[in-house]
Amino acid sequence: MSRWQEPQAIAELAREVTVVRRPNPFTALYHWRYEIGALLVVPYALFTLFQAVGPIWAAVVLFGVANWLFHWRSARGFIRDRLRSVVVQHRLRTGFARARVCTLDGKLPVILWTKPRGDEVEVTVFCPAGVGYERIEQRRALLAAACFATDVHVYRHHKRANVVHLSVCTARLRKDEDEDEVVFG
């Protein structure tokens, strides 16, 4: 090991033995915003519906809405894609912690936003000082495994150095019977 490589090796060792810090309460609330919203809105909406129309008509309305969502392909796809985005967010946070994509004092990158795009989920990540594009690019395979994805592509933000875009490819791998090659689809 040369004299110039020692600081990087020491920093890497320090990162490996550092305990990953828990997020502060506001960040934790932001991480669980969809689940907290569902826990607050769904019971209130059901209670209001039962109070407004009574239990029998409420059951009829709920059955009609569930049937309508089940048969409406666009709504079904929208719900599936949003649920997949939420799962990818949680899996990426776990992947960041386990792959040691953190600063030397244990701060993890913050996921700002996710949006589904076909078979991929686009994720915008804010990196604290000490974590950047190169660190996430090195850990792509571990992040893909954490997200149950086939691949993770990392892109730099066009204006900000501390913002990174990830494209998590969640397409299922299938194998054609006729050929021995793997096909995405």
pLDDT mean for each 10 residues of the chain (185 residues):
66 71 85 92 92 92 90 90 92 90 85 91 92 89 91 91 91 58 57
**Tens-place pLDDT, residues 86-101:** 999 999 999 998 888 8
Packing angle of the helix pair 33-53, 55-71 (nearest 10 deg)? 130
The pLDDT of residue 36: 94
pLDDT at res. 179: 55
Q: Which domains does the chain have, with CATH numbers?
A: 6-31+72-184 (3.30.980.40)
pLDDT tens-digit map of 38-50: 999 999 999 999 9
Strands 163-169 and 120-126, by their bridges, are: antiparallel
Report the pLDDT value the prediction gives residue 115, as an integer from 0 to 100.
Answer: 92
> Quick one: DSSP state of residue 129?
T
Q: Which helix (H) or strand (E) holds 5?
A: none
DSSP assignment string, 38-94: HHHHHHHHHHHHHHHH-HHHHHHHHHHHHHHHHH-HHHHHHHHHHHHHHHHHHHHHH
